[in-house]
Structure formats: structure tokens, C-alpha cells
Structure 1
Amino acid sequence: MRRITPKVAALVAIAMLALTAPAQAQRAAAPEAYFEFTDSTRERAVLKLTDPAKIQHARELVTGITNDRPHILGRIVKRPAPYNPRWSYHYNPETVDFFDFAIEVCDASIPYVEDHLDEAGGAFLPGLIWCPWSSRLVREIPVP
């Protein structure tokens, strides 16, 4: 019986590791947070953040802890994202950042980008960089 107990304990330990490894790997993976934002048109869109520092900054903006760098900028991708289905484009999560002031060439409203998406990346939104000057986060939303 003494020989069986260590073997059973070893099997239980292996089984526990197998069950907890995916959960640990998931926690170790990049975090995700989703935020709804708006602009002067009052239209709304959703962006995804994966950088922990940017997620924290976004949460502080939404809760009013800070008003530093309140506007959103980043590179857009010309296709819909599952979390932002209303629009034919979305921010590339790895490029999203926040700003106080930006150059005019990247400023456009949410619907204007939609209406002129075929022109984006040329003279309109060079490099697909979008920085709507009137953008602001509205709220954090649950993971879609």
C-alpha cells in the first residue's frame, strides 16, 4: 500500500498540472480590454487594448482619475473586427495610444473614416494613422 500511495500522488499531481497549465498560460497571455469611444459626431466605436499600461490609462480616463492624454490614436485596419461590427475598420490593438495634441492630417470623425475608407492610407490618413481630435473613451465594455 505504501508503494501505491506515492504513485497515486504523482498521478494526481500530474493531472493537476495538466488542468492548471492552460489557465496559467491564459493568465500569462497578454491581457485584453475593450472600450467604447465617441467623437464630436456622437457616433460610437469599440477598440481593443492589449498593453497593461494603456489599459490602466484607459480605465483612469473612464473613471475620471486622469484627463491626461484623453484622445485616441493608432493605425487602422481596413476590415471589421468582431468586437466592432458596425464599422468596416478598427484600430490595430498593438498601435493604439493616447494623446493631447496631434497633427491635422490624421484627424477625422468615425463616420468620415467609414465613408472614405478606400482613400485611407494615401493623402487621407497617411500610413493608416488615425487620431480623431474629438475622440474620448466612454466606457469599458465586457469582453465580447
Structure 2
Amino acid sequence: MPRILTKIAAALASVAMLALACPAQAAERANFEFTDISGERFVVQLTDPEKIAHARDLLAGTTRDEPHLLGRIIKRPVAYNPRWSYHYDPSTVTFFDMAIEVCDATIPYVEDHLDEAGGAFLPGLYWCPWTSRLVRELPA
């Protein structure tokens, strides 16, 4: 029995040392509100630290590069964006300067035609509102 306890203690010590040597990177999440030419507001969640930094730089005015949002939508609401029946898949969101027309639509147009999204309208469920513009970061 003492040998088993010694092995368990050694295993726990090894795990603790690994945790200290290689700390797990916490998944940062940040929610941002954007608008488009319609004037409506939409919330996007970002999980990539570089994309979060870019969004914050856009809001701070330290960059004007790639100000618009592009990503794949999921046809269901989420708690952080309850007004709409769809949301961006956070793992697909990126920023752009110019994009092809086939993925452009306003926030309310996507809502009104959500049943058509994924076909000729927003092929692959990719949405890139050309007039999208970040407005603010929402509190955590």
C-alpha cells in the first residue's frame, strides 16, 4: 500500500510540475458590437487573441486596416446576441478590407432571409457585411 501511495504522490507531483512549467493558455473571449448601413446592432464573439487585439485597435483608432467582419454564421440565437436568430461562429470570424459581393448583406436582411442562407444566398453560410463597423466592446 505505501508503494501505491508513493506512486500516486509522484504522479501528482509530476502533473503539478507540468502545470507550472507549461501553464494552460486561458481561452480569452471578448464580445463586440457592430453596426452596418441599416443602423441595426449585432454582437460578435471573438476568441482569437490576435483578432481581439485587432478589434480593440480598430475601436481605439490605432488602425484602419481590415475594418469589416467576415465569418460563417450559425442559424440559431446565442445568449450574447439574443435579438437575432443567428450568430457568427467565433472560430471563423476574421476581418477584411474588400470581399466578394455574394457574402454581403445587412444584419436585418440576413434575419429576414435566414431560411435561404447557405444556398445561393450566403453560400457556405459565409457572411461579410461590407458596411460593418465595430461600435464598442461589451463588458465581460
**Common fold by TM > 0.5:** yes
Aligned length: 121
- Residue number in structure 2 paired with 1:3: none
How does the TM-score come out when normalised to structure 2? 0.83
CA distance in 2, matches of 1:44, 1:106: 18
Say which of 83, 96, 109 aligns to 1:112. Answer: 109
Structure 1 segments (4+ residues) deviating >2 Å: none
CA distance in 2, matches of 1:94, 1:37: 18
- Residue number in structure 2 paired with 1:122: 119
- Residue number in structure 1 paired with 2:6: none
AA paired with 1:118?
Answer: D
Q: SS state of the match for residue 34, structure 2?
A: strand
Deviation at 1:107, TM superposition (A): 0.1
CA distance in 2, matches of 1:29, 1:123: 38
Gaps of 5+ in 2: 1-12
CA distance in 2, matches of 1:29, 1:90: 23
Identity of aligned residues (%): 71
CA distance in 2, matches of 1:141, 1:67: 20
How does the TM-score come out when normalised to structure 1? 0.81
Deviation at 1:29, TM superposition (A): 2.4
Say which of 56, 60, 63 aligns to 2:57. Answer: 60
Please state if 1:92 is matched with 2:89: yes
AA paired with 1:83?
Answer: Y
AA paired with 1:138?
Answer: V
CA distance in 2, matches of 1:116, 1:36: 22
Gaps of 5+ in 1: 1-13
CA distance in 2, matches of 1:29, 1:121: 33
AA paired with 2:120?
Answer: A
AA paired with 2:32?
Answer: F
Deviation at 1:71, TM superposition (A): 0.3
The CA RMSD measured in Å over matched residues stands at 1.5
